[in-house]
Amino acid sequence: MELEYRGLAASDTVDTGTGPVSNLYRVTPFMHVPDIAAAVNFFTDILSFECRYRQGSYAYVQREAAAFRLVENSGDDGAPPGNRRFCYYVDVRDVAAIAAELAPKASLLNDGDIYGPIDQIYGQRELMVVAPDGNLLVFGQDLTRG
C-alpha cells in the first residue's frame, strides 16, 4: 500500500465538523534548551519571532501561526535524554522569503548552521537552521501547490 505525502498549505482549511475537535487551533511543541536567554535571543534576533511571555526558565515565542514553548533544563531535571537534538518543522508559504530574511543575520550563526533552501524528492523546498542548542528548525514549502 502506497501512501501519498501531502502537507497542508497555509491557505488550506480543514473541516473538523461541530464536535470538540473544532476547538483545536495550534500545536506548540516544548523545546528543552540549556540556556533560556540564548534560545530567546536566537528566536527573536535571528528568526524574528516575538517573545510573548517569559518568566524564569520558561518562554513562549511566536511568529504568525508558529509558536514554541522554550524550557531551560540542565542536567537530569526533566529534559529528554540524549543530546537535546530535535527537529521542528514549520510549514511556510514562501521559503525563499524566509531565506532572504535570514541571510543578513547568517554571520551571527556558526558556519554550516544554515542549509538550503533545497528541493527535496518528497515535494518540499526546505531551509534548515541549527539553533545554538543543537535543535534543528526546518522551514518547508509545499512544491506541489501551484
pLDDT one-digit tens code per residue, 64-91: 999 999 989 876 554 544 455 678 999 9
pLDDT in tens, 47-61: 999 999 999 999 999
Sorted by where each begins, the domain ranges of the chain are 30-74+82-142
Reported CATH class of domain 30-74+82-142: alpha beta
Mean pLDDT, the chain, integer:
81
The CA-CA-CA angle for residues 69, 34, 70, to 5°, reads 5
The pLDDT value recorded for residue 93 is 92
Calpha distance 47→13 (Å, rounded) = 26
Whether residue 94 is predicted with pLDDT greater than 80 in this model: the reply is yes
Provide the whole-model pTM: 0.68
Average pLDDT over residues 114-141: 92
What DSSP letter does each residue of 18-81 carry, written as one string?
TSGGGG------EEEES-HHHHHHIIIIIS--EEEEEETTEEEEEETTEEEEEEE--SSSSPPS
